[in-house]
Amino acid sequence: MADTSTPVWFITGCSTGFGRELAKLTLAKGWPTVMTARDKSRVADLAEGTENGLALDLDVTDAGQVAAAVKAAEDKFGRIDVLVNNAGYGYQAAIEEGEETEIRDMFDANVFGLFAITRAVLPGMRSRRRGNILNITSQAGFIGFPGSGYYAASKHAVEGFSDALAAEVAALGIKVTCVAPGPFRTDWAGRSLRQTANKIADYAETAGARMKATSSYSGQQPGDPVRAGQAMIRIVEDGNAPRHLVLGELAYDGVTAKLKERLGEIESLRELSLSADFPK
């Protein structure tokens, strides 16, 4: 069993990108780290030569694998202190172009899989009255870009879920943070992004243009995934993890502008909003 003075991290989706870079950082600190992927051979190299690493197969849409992975982590390290829900992928289409199977498959991974692994980890955190849950969302959790409506919807769902979860577990010593990155230099666009095969000409200048730009942007994104991992570690180490952590200048500017715009619109309609109540 791991030294109880060190946090045990459980990170989903570690084959590439944020998950892999974060796992490297936690292992370098000597922290016990559970690294999962649909095929654990893609993360096995991270666990080689260290007692602190555990590589596991995990498809978050498979209830049996979810239960088995959490049990294996707790059997080896005794507990899970930090859960990072990173597994997931993107699907782009104009709303009208969306394909039912693709939409549901993405929600199974991004939303229902995240729900399932969180439920599986919560009993241990609750019994110990401590823990951190980091849900990797996106700037799309705040902003619905053309061509990314279904992806944004999946991230909005995680935001709402996290609001409720935070309210339920705060008194139990468990902190919930949504980490919302902008564009980062991972292979997300090349490996973890699907695009519709349906093309409707009327959306070529909106959704179509954004899909084309996303595909060509890979490798040029301003965000550094290593620095993103360091930021996640910092908020956990600080002991007072925030409800939201937005990563990258583009995401910060976009999210803050969207929230100000939304608040301004709501406030401008105050009288109409209050008129919907029964008269006092």
- Structural domains in the chain? 9-274 (3.40.50.720)
pTM: 0.93
pLDDT at 2: 39
Write down the catalytic residue from 91, 150, 151, 203.
151
User: pLDDT per residue over 136-146, tens digit each?
Assistant: 999 999 999 99
pLDDT over threshold 70, residue 109: yes
91 is catalytic: no
Which residue has 């946090």 as its token pair?
Answer: 7
d(CA 142, CA 252): 11
How many Å separate Cα 217 from the centre of its chain? 21
**DSSP secondary structure of 71-105:** HHHHHHHS--SEEEE----EEEB-GGG--HHHHHH
Running DSSP on this structure, what letter comes out for residue 252?
Answer: H
Select from 149, 145, 147, 144 the least CA-distant residue to 207: 147
d(CA 67, CA 63): 6
Q: In what order do the strands lie in the sheet with 244-247?
A: 53-57, 33-37, 9-11, 82-85, 131-136, 174-181, 244-247
Which stretch of 74-83, 87-96, 183-192, 248-257 has the lowest confidence by average pLDDT? 183-192
